[in-house]
Each structure stands twice: as structure tokens, then as C-alpha cells.
Amino acid sequence: MARIVPDGWRELSASGAAQREIETLAVLAAGLPADYTVYHAVHWTGIDGRYAIYGEIDFAVVNLAGDLLLIEQKSGFLQETADGLVKQYPGRSKSVTVQMSRMVSTLRGKLAVRGDIPSVRTDALLYCPDYRVTSPETAGLVPERIVDANRREQLCRIVQRLLPARERTAATAKIHAFLRDLIQLDTDVSALMGRARDLVTRVSGGLAHWARRLEFEPFHLRITGTAGSGKTQLALAEYRATVDAGKRPLYVCFNRPLADHFHRIAPAGGLACTYHQLCDQRLRHAGETPDFTLPDAFERLQQRAAALPASAAFQFDTVIVDEGQDISEEWRDVIFGHARADARLLWLEDPLQNLYGRPPTPLPGWVTLHAKSNYRSPRPIVELLRRLLPGGLDIEAASPITADEIEILDYADGAGMLARVREAIRLCYSAGFRKHDVAIVSYHGRQQSQLLALDRLGQTSLRHFTGAYDLFGQPVYSQGEVLVESVYRFKGQAAPAVILAEIDFAVLDDQALRKLFVGATRSSMKLILVLHQKSAARLLERIA
């Protein structure tokens, strides 16, 4: 299989000419031997704003010796004129012959001015997979260098004939360096990110698809699923199906940001809240107003809600418990007290995200389903966690996204930590991520975090939870560009680029590992760890 540069092309869901070029990449990748490298720019920034490596080069195939075959792809209909093949574009037409001549001439000229690169063979090929050239002799190109619809199945064979395998030469490394420079590897991260998000949503939806097709009575299903396995999608599918059936669902979790997120994406017709919000609503419906100024307000709230008799207004046909690892046995009983006799009950949990040290909640007689595939976190993250956790991590790295290796930045003191976080932000920006794509996740809670108390970090303004709620019960955030959250509040959420900062543990014990697991698995594309030098040494020693 040929090597494709840049990678990440398989994740794209493009249309038009870009989609046809992605299809060609798949053909070249599968049909050429490993001695060949194919450079392309289907989803990367080209100099003239179109999909091209330089000017109008669509693909550059390189053999071991560094010889080049440039491929110009023309999808769709072409015109055969007295001046050769012509491609019509809105408002203009382009001569394919002139285009290819300029393409080869430009590249040869750039190579010629590079005195450090030994001479290599340079050739060109026209690939028009949708059009059959009826008069190759008047096309303006040598017929042997045209692969049209009649010969498209022979593309890889013709490439190898025009660019035969040769031994590595002194020019090889220099040609690859030259092409990497020329291709301008500036990722269109926003486009790739949207497509990546769609792809991950699609593949992780498998759990929601087949878990809901299980049949047993009573329907009491416990899902023990790792981060990124599709638990939220399953919860949403159950919730939506209940509403569509004219019935009422209840979704309960521990984490307020997760409950707020689920409430935003769920259809109207049910109730989505935290356990404490459920207790609060029960009391208010009964005519009582909780007093949150008392030191034991939350304990009083829970006790009073548990003592209230079940009312019809709080009876549900489906009850979904998320973050089950954070729900105690006592809370379990209160929550399920809101289920009708024939209700569908679902319990979703991930023991590795148990940050509060609660013992497992027993669910006797329940059917248990284990979901071990992480579709959200890129492979380098899952591999790191496997090496960190004792006994290895029984999780499949199933993300379809190609990602960079994890970056580790260490510091010696508080000032150094802030400098390293600023550097991490810069690294995210230089990789193509925008401000709203980045989340800074503190390893500590609000009381211990230095970052969560800041409104700015250098030139970057920070957006963080103020601790207050508006009149509609929504959390109030400070004005800022980049979100900063604690690992506790960000549990259950994700961001394309995550900076897991303020990592400072004395011992790499079970609690430290769980916090690292939660923080690291929030990333869907890029992860940077900012940790104290002593913690870095312990972590690197563990994974060595």
C-alpha cells in the first residue's frame, strides 16, 4: 500500500471535485506498492485557493529514487477542440494541455534553482475518470499519458509503467523535503473538524443502534461503557424515542454542565436534570422552597425529596441515569421512585470516571452490557492511557481520526505553569484550531486551581463559570475567548483541542490516574499535557 501525504484524507466527507480526488487517493493508496509516496492537497490550503499542491498540481507520485510523476485530474465532462482538450468552468474555459505544461514547467523550474537537489526524472499524466477521449491524437497530449474512463481501472499499472521502481538515491530525502515544503501543510482544521465530528457521531452511534434492539422484560439495562463509546447518544436515542411515542422520559446525571448540555440537545416533552435539580423541583412542586444558605442545604434537600410521596407529575415511562459511577445507592432509590411500574430503566456508567471514590452501586437482576470502544479519543491518547493504567486498559482505540502525538510541557512553579499554558494555547492556534475549539481543563477543582481564578492569560481572555446562575437557572460564565474548566465540571463534555493543565500529583495513585483519564479523554483531536516537573518524571517513568 502506498504512503499518502498528508494523512487524514479518509476522514473527509467532501463533495464535487474534492470527493472525486479522495476516491482517486483511495485507488492509489490501495493499488501502488509501499515503495511509492503520493502527495496530495485535497483538503489543504493551496497557494491559489483551490485544491492543489502548487498552482495546479493535484497529485505528485514519488518513487524510492525521488523521481516524480505529476497527475492532473479532470473530473466530469471535457471538450475536444482543435487546440486540444478543454475544461469548462463557470464563466471561463481552461486548456488542459496548457495547464499541464505549465504545471510541469513550474515544478522543474523550482527544482532547477535548488542546487542542492540532484537531477530527477519528472513526468506528467492526465487522469479523466469520467470522460472517454475519442481522439487522443488531437488531445494535445501523448496518448500514453492519458488515463480516461476506458482505462481508469489501469491507473496504478500505468503510474508504475511511467514511474518504474528504482533504488533510493541521494535525491530521495531532498525531494521529499522539497515536496513537504511545497505542499504547504496548512490544515483546514475547521473543515476537517466538522467532518471528523460527523464521522465520530456516526460510528459511535452503533451503541444506540443495537442496544435499543435488545428485548427482555423488565427492560433494566446497565451499560458499562468507556469514554467516547456512545453512551450519550444512546441516552438521547432513548429519550427521543420515548417522546416520539407520546410518553415522558427522565434523564438524570450528577454533573451540572452535562445536564445542561443534554437539556439543550434533547427534544421537549421530558425532564433532563441533575439529581439535585430533581430534588429541588420535587420540593418546589410540593410548595416548599429550599434554603441554600444553610451549611447542610444539599443534605436537607435530598432528605426532604426522598420523604415526599410520588406524585403523578413526576412519574416517567423511561428513566435514564447517566454518570452512574457518581450515583449512590440511596440516590438510585430516589431516582427510580419516579419510574412507572413498566418503565424502561437505563443505567450508564464508566468506572474509570469515578472521581469521587464512590463504591459501585448494585443493580441486582439487571442485564449488563460492556462497551469498550472509544470512538472519540484519537489513538495516541488511548495508547497513553493503556500504558498508564495498571494491568493495561481494556479499551479499543476506535476513533477514525488521525491525530498528532500528545505534547507534554512541564514547569517548575506557578509562573512557569502559566507560561506553559500560554505556549500550549499558541500550539493549538498554530495547528489551525480557533479559540472556541480549545478548552483548558484544570486538573484541580475551583478551590485549588490557579487558572480558574484568572480572567486573562497573556493576550488570551478566559471564559469560566462564575459560580452563579441566571433567572432561568442557566450557569453564568465570564466574558472570554477560551473556555477554562475543572476536570470535575468538564466530565461528560469534549473539545477538539484540550489543554489538560495544572497536573500536579505527589503520587501517581488511582485517583490521579482517574483524573488523567477523564481529562485526556475529553479531547477529540489534539491533547497537550501541562504538568509539574516532578509529576512529569513520574508519568514518564510509568509509561517508559
Q: Long-range contacts: 241-249, Cβ < 8 Å, 24+?
A: 241/212, 242/270, 242/317, 242/318, 242/344, 243/267, 243/268, 243/269, 243/270, 245/317, 247/317, 247/318, 248/315, 248/316, 248/317, 248/318, 249/316, 249/317, 249/318, 249/319, 249/320
Task: State how far the alpha carbon of 315 is from the alpha carbons of 93, 247, 504, in Å.
Answer: 68, 10, 45
The fold for domain 196-374 equals Rossmann fold (3.40.50)
Query: What is the predicted pLDDT for the residue at 394?
Result: 78
Evaluate whether the domain defined by 3-186 bears CATH number 3.30.70: no
State residue 22's pLDDT score: 83
Higher per-residue confidence, 528 vs 94:
528
Domain 401-543's class?
alpha beta
pLDDT higher than 50, residue 13: no
Band (pLDDT 50/70/90 cuts) for residue 220 is very high
pLDDT tens by residue, 348-364: 999 999 999 999 999 99
Residue 195 has pLDDT above 80, yes or no: no
pLDDT digits (tens, 9 = 90+) for 473-531: 677 888 899 999 999 999 988 898 999 999 999 999 999 999 999 999 999 889 999 99
Q: How confident is the model at residue 88 (pLDDT cuts 50, 70, 90)?
A: confident
* Same topology between domain 3-186 and domain 401-543: no
Average pLDDT, the chain: 86
Domain ranges of the chain: 3-186, 196-374, 401-543
